[in-house]
Copies of this chain bind each other. A is one copy, B any other.
Amino acid sequence: MREVAIIGIGQTPVGEHWTTSLRHLAFEAARNALRDANVDKVDAIYVGNMLSGEITGQEHLGALVADFLGLSGVEALKIEAACASGSAAVRVGTMAVASGMADIVLAMGVEKMTDTSGRETTAALAMAADAEYEVSQGVSFVALNALLMRRYMYEYGWQHRDFANFAVNAHTNGMNNPNAMFRFPVTPEAYERSPIISSPVGLLDASPVCDGAAAVILAPAEYARTLSPAPVLIKGSAIATAPLAIHDRPDPLVLEAAVLSAQRAYKMAGITPADVDFFELHDAFAIMAALSLEAAGFAERGKGVQMALDGEITREGRLPISTMGGLKARGHPVGATGVYQIVEAALQLRGLAGENQLARARLGMTQNIGGSGATIITHILESLA
């Protein structure tokens, strides 16, 4: 198997882009990545996206993006795995290069969540859950996370305020990210006062509905150094699944797919959790951040929140997370999020994270979650510079 490296990255600011269409967002991120890689052609394009059909009335995004980039002719596909669609596209691109079917690949994610011409956004997002056995009961996606958070608090004795540092850390880091949607600080007091969306989930536990696109250019690692001054090796890449409906899982408080995908990625990379310098995790809701820390092996069961309380997740802590704002403050344009995570990890590994640059960033990990944990995709990235 050929090793695969990232030779270029690009992104758009995350926000409510009322005057920018899906194809323009995709174009901007892809163009930025192509320029960063200093290439103007690719062999294949894989576009992660969840909701273009429901929101924009447009499927067939592979051909659309290829066309709009002036690259018609190349292989192009859309990849979907709910909110994990972005890193799924990177995974497929990695397989394309690893197999030798392609040399230079554009893997990207794009999502336009505002300005829907179809289903209302909350209804569209619920399609990540089980339509017949969860959504038909009237539960929304936020409510599923609320059920998990309530159970976690009950089971382990945590209070809602104990989760505050996930939001505080994300907003602190988002302030210095020019592409973040929310660039203001949040205090523990503001967290406690924030309005309840679905008890016990408050507004500051939740990531926003927004638009954005992010992209990477992949190439064989064997000659990545000839193409880029600072390539990033995809040292580990793994997808795992769990039952779609939360009630079908043996233990709803264990993200089994995260356990599996992290273990597979560690094995592929030949590392242990202790080797990871920072972790771009899927903090779509505070409860998901806590569960991810536990499933990936950084905290014991029920102790993910303790890491936040102890300040271990800050840029100076044992395991910095959401170093550019995470889903909470950078924003969560669902099908693009996994690529934002990888782009941000690459920025850290290349020493380009600006005021948020970590002192030690040689090995970074990203983890992208689809649904309430049914698809979980882990990537382990290493600087080749």
Report whether A243 and B67 are in contact in the complex, using a CB–CB cutoff of 8 Å: yes
Give the number of chain A interface residues (Cβ < 8 Å).
Answer: 67
Chain B nearest Cβ from A9, distance in angstroms: 22
CB neighbours of A62 from chain B (8 A): 80-81, 241, 375
CB neighbours of A76 from chain B (8 A): 81, 239, 241, 375
CB neighbours of A240 from chain B (8 A): 73-75
3 A-B pairs closest in CB distance: A99-B99, A63-B374, A98-B99
CA distance A61 to B238 in the complex (A): 18
* Interface contacts beyond A63-B242, A77-B92, A98-B101: sample of 7 additional A-B pairs, CB < 8 Å, sorted by A: A53-B53, A53-B124, A60-B375, A72-B241, A75-B240, A77-B375, A95-B99
Closest B residue to A243 by beta carbon equals B67
A310 interface residue per 8 A CB criterion: no
Would you call the interface of chain A mostly helix, strand, loop, or mixed?
mixed
CB neighbours of A91 from chain B (8 A): 77
Q: Mark A92-110, 1 if CB is under 8 A from B, else 0.
A: 1001101111000000000
What is the oligomeric copy number?
2
Report whether A244 and B375 are in contact in the complex, using a CB–CB cutoff of 8 Å: no
CB neighbours of A237 from chain B (8 A): 101
CB neighbours of A58 from chain B (8 A): 127, 130-132
CB neighbours of A51 from chain B (8 A): 53, 59
Measured CB to CB, the residues of A under 8 A from B are 1-2, 21, 23, 44, 50-51, 53-54, 56-64, 66-67, 72-82, 88, 91-92, 95-96, 98-101, 118-119, 124, 126-132, 135, 237-244, 248, 256-257, 260, 370-371, 374-375
Closest B residue to A63 by beta carbon equals B374
Contacts known (A72-B243, A79-B78, A95-B99); A50 close to B59, Cβ less than 8 A: yes
Chain B nearest Cβ from A258, distance in angstroms: 12
Contacts known (A57-B127, A239-B76); A100 close to B1, Cβ less than 8 A: yes
Report whether A128 and B374 are in contact in the complex, using a CB–CB cutoff of 8 Å: no
Sample 20 A-B pairs with CB under 8 A, ordered by A number. A1-B99, A53-B53, A53-B54, A56-B131, A57-B127, A57-B131, A58-B132, A60-B81, A63-B82, A63-B243, A64-B130, A67-B248, A72-B243, A72-B257, A75-B238, A77-B239, A77-B375, A78-B79, A80-B80, A99-B99
Q: Residue among A77, A95, A237, A256 with the most chain B CB within 10 A?
A: A77
CA distance A191 to B44 in the complex (A): 41
Report whether A80 and B98 are in contact in the complex, using a CB–CB cutoff of 8 Å: no
Report whether B60 and A370 are in contact in the complex, using a CB–CB cutoff of 8 Å: yes
